[in-house]
């Protein structure tokens, strides 16, 4: 069933993105934070409900990471543009995502199949990215302080580590597919 609660929550997250961008660009950072937290909650609950109620679908497996990437990349670009976070962390996050997407396309064309399983490093990187964005908003609302530099470094470390792990897993998938040919 395509129209289930997890998929609806994922679509809601995608639809929240323009509200987040508008609130952010008009300097309504508290509203942007509320929308961001609502989006984070939909991300948490769509996966939880899909697993607990056994409502995982192929559509959800595709839409959920797309919704996450739209929100993350948009947030990182906006925060970099407005000088809230350093440019280098945005470059790391977007570069990792571009490598992963490119790797997925290559893997699909070589092996005619693609099955991406989330990894612990990938989930940790995503969680740290969400935490970082939320914390930046909270600190900015409360006087424009910058988060600890260690948070940027930790986020970058797990983002890079997860990217390398996805590349490794993709190469294993390609090699196992070629060995059967």
Location of structure tokens 């947030």: 75
CB atoms within 10 A of CB 15: 12
- The rounded Cα 74 to chain-centroid distance in angstroms is 10
Categorize the per-residue pLDDT at 80 as very low, low, confident or very high, splitting at 50, 70 and 90: very high
Count of helix runs (H) and strand runs (E) in the chain: 6, 0
- pLDDT value of position 175: 81
Predicted local distance difference test score (pLDDT) of residue 102: 85
Instruction: Count how many Cα atoms sit within 13 Å of the Cα of residue 77 in the half-sphere of its side chain.
Output: 11
Write out the two tokens for 14: 């995608």
**Exposure of 34 in the CB half-sphere (CA atoms within 13 A):** 6
CATH code for 5-180? Answer: 1.20.120.1760
**Alpha-carbon distance 166 to 170, whole Å?**
6
pLDDT at residue 47 tops 90: no
Provide the pLDDT for residue 179. Answer: 42
All structural domains of the chain with their residue ranges: 5-180
- Across all residues in the chain, what is the average pLDDT? 88
Q: Render the burial of 168-181: b for 16+ CB within 10 Å, e for the rest.
A: ebbeebbeeeeeee
**pTM value?**
0.88
Q: Which two structure tokens, joined as six digits, stand for 154?
A: 């930790």
pLDDT at position 15 = 95
Among 119, 41, 29, smallest CA distance to 75 is for: 29
Q: What is the pLDDT of residue 141?
A: 93
Inform me whether the pLDDT recorded for 180 exceeds 70: no
């Amino acid at each position: 069933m395509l129209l289930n609660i997890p998929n609806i929550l994922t679509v809601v997250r995608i639809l929240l993105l323009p509200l987040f961008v508008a609130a952010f660009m008009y300097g309504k950072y508290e509203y942007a934070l509320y929308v961001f937290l609502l989006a984070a909650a939909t991300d948490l609950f769509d996966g939880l409900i899909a697993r607990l109620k056994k409502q995982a679908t192929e559509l959800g497996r595709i839409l959920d990471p797309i919704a996450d990437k739209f929100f993350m990349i948009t947030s990182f670009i906006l925060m970099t543009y407005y000088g809230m976070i350093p440019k280098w962390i945005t470059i790391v996050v977007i570069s990792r995502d571009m490598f992963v997407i490119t790797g997925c396309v290559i893997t699909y064309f070589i092996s005619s199949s693609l099955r991406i399983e989330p990894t612990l490093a990938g989930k940790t990187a995503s969680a740290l990215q969400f935490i970082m964005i939320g914390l930046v908003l909270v600190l900015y609302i409360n006087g424009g302080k910058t988060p600890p530099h260690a948070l940027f470094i930790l986020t970058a470390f797990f983002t890079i580590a997860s990217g390398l792990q996805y590349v490794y897993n993709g190469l294993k998938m390609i090699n196992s597919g070629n060995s059967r040919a």
